[in-house]
Amino acid sequence: MIINIAEAKAHLSSIVERACNGEHITIAKNNLPLVDLMPHNRPTKRKLGIAKGLIDYQEDIFSTDEANIEHFYQSKLEP
């Protein structure tokens, strides 16, 4: 639906409501399209655990031995 600016000013609330309900609305000036109205995406609640069971890793991935720990703390960072 194409609506001229003057009509959009007069009926802004109803036009915004219609755009929020999914109707494609274009605002025009002298019948030349200027802008399209579209609803803002409302944030949804995050769902925790959606990747559960999709990621595989070895059980000992976080295990370390004493040699690795000592090497880590004795290493020096150089530029």
- Pair type for strands 32-37 and 25-29: antiparallel
Enter the pTM of the model.
0.51
**Confidence band for 76, pLDDT divided at 50, 70 and 90:** confident
Residue 17's pLDDT is 93
**CA atoms within 13 A of residue 14's CA, in its CB half-sphere:** 6
* CB-CB contact of 2 with 31 (8 Å): yes
Residue 79's pLDDT is 58
**Confidence band for 61, pLDDT divided at 50, 70 and 90:** confident
Question: 3-class DSSP state for residue 46?
Answer: coil
